[in-house]
Structure formats: C-alpha cells, structure tokens
Amino acid sequence: MDANRKHLRPWHPWIDLIRSTADLDRFITEWLQQLSKNRGFHAGIWHEGKLCGIINHLNIDWVNRSTVLSYWLDEAHQGRGIMTAACRAFVSHAFHTLKLNRVTIECAGRNTRSRRIPERLGFTFEGIIRGAEWLHDHFADHAIYGLLKGDLPQDDSMSVAEFPLAAAGAGPFAVISAESLN
C-alpha cells in the first residue's frame, strides 16, 4: 500500500488511517467482523503472486437484497482489465450465489477511471450525491451507479461458470487470481 499511497490518496480517505502493520490488522479485524455477521466480505486481487488490489461486497443488506461494491487497484496494474473482470465476477456472485437484486457502485465523481468500470459493465448512472465524503481537506461528490438482476440480458453476460474466489486457506481474505479472470 505504501507504494501506492500517492495514487490512492486522492480517492480514498482511509489510506491515511493505515500507516503500520497494527493499523492494517485493525482493518482486517473489522473486515472479519463484517464477514462473521454475513454483512459482506473482502477479496484480495492477486496478479503473478503479488497483491495488486482489493474488492469487496460492502454492507450487504439482506432485507433489501442489495450490496455496495467497492474496490481499489494499484497503479501498475491499471489499464489491463483486471478490475473490470474482478467486478464482473463479484456482480455475478452477488446475483447468482447471494441471490441479491441490486449492486451499487459509488465512486468519487472526478475519478473517471473508476467510473468507467460500472459504465463498461452496463450499470445505470443514477446521479451525483453532492458532498458525500470528507476527503482529507474537502467534500467530494460521489457518482452512483446501479445494476438490478433484472437489468441483465437473457444471455446474462455477467454469469461466470465458476466463481473464481478461493476462500479456503486464504487467511482473512478470499482470493481472486487475476490470471483466472481473463
């Protein structure tokens, strides 16, 4: 994360909260609590044996059968389709395994690279939430994208034959191998 601090900081306020192994341990503990409450999970995205990003179902709402999809990818791995493929797998998992009805992606309004992902995946742009997040020294707007299970075409291009997550023995994360997504 340190190598990508400058790259991630404009979009992620939590980056300043992780400065040590103890800080990261606290985050992982929170993620494990979320998992134990069946409210979401995080997956590490690995490429050629190196962690290059994180993707997660954040705050699964079982009553309304919805989730927010959140992600980050290190700078060196951008532009290769890795995050789009990971998001496609997570959306498929949300609809086909978790039986959810809605997936939302919310990203900083000025983060054009992040916004391209839901646009490529057929999400509907639903609007801008003004001043949604305190980002270090200013409020940032968020662009909201939504996808409903019913929005998927009949051939369901989001479907994946085998969801490429391996949780067994993965420690606090499930694991997505970028190689298996392409």
Q: What is the pLDDT along the chain (182 residues), one digit of tens a residue?
A: 666 656 565 665 655 556 677 766 776 677 667 767 778 888 888 888 887 888 989 889 999 999 999 888 888 888 888 889 899 999 998 999 999 999 999 998 888 988 999 999 999 999 999 988 887 788 989 999 999 999 987 655 555 433 344 433 333 344 555 555 54
List of residues 6+ apart from 72 with CB closer than 8 A: 8, 11, 12, 53, 54
Report how far apart the first and last C-alpha atoms of the chain are (Å, whole number): 24
CATH architecture under which domain 2-181 falls: 3-Layer(aba) Sandwich (3.40)
Q: In the prediction, which pLDDT does 165 show? A: 41
103 φ/ψ angles, rounded to the nearest 5 degrees: -125, 130
Prediction pTM value:
0.75
- Whole-number Å distance between alpha carbons of 7 and 122: 26
- The answer to whether the beta carbons of residues 43 and 165 sit under 8 Å apart is yes
- Whole-number Å distance between alpha carbons of 29 and 34: 9
- Whole-number Å distance between alpha carbons of 88 and 95: 11
Q: In the prediction, which pLDDT does 155 show? A: 57
- CA geometry: angle at 38 spanning 33 and 41, to 5°? 70
Q: In the prediction, which pLDDT does 60 show? A: 93
Helix (H, G, I), strand (E, B) or coil at 149: helix
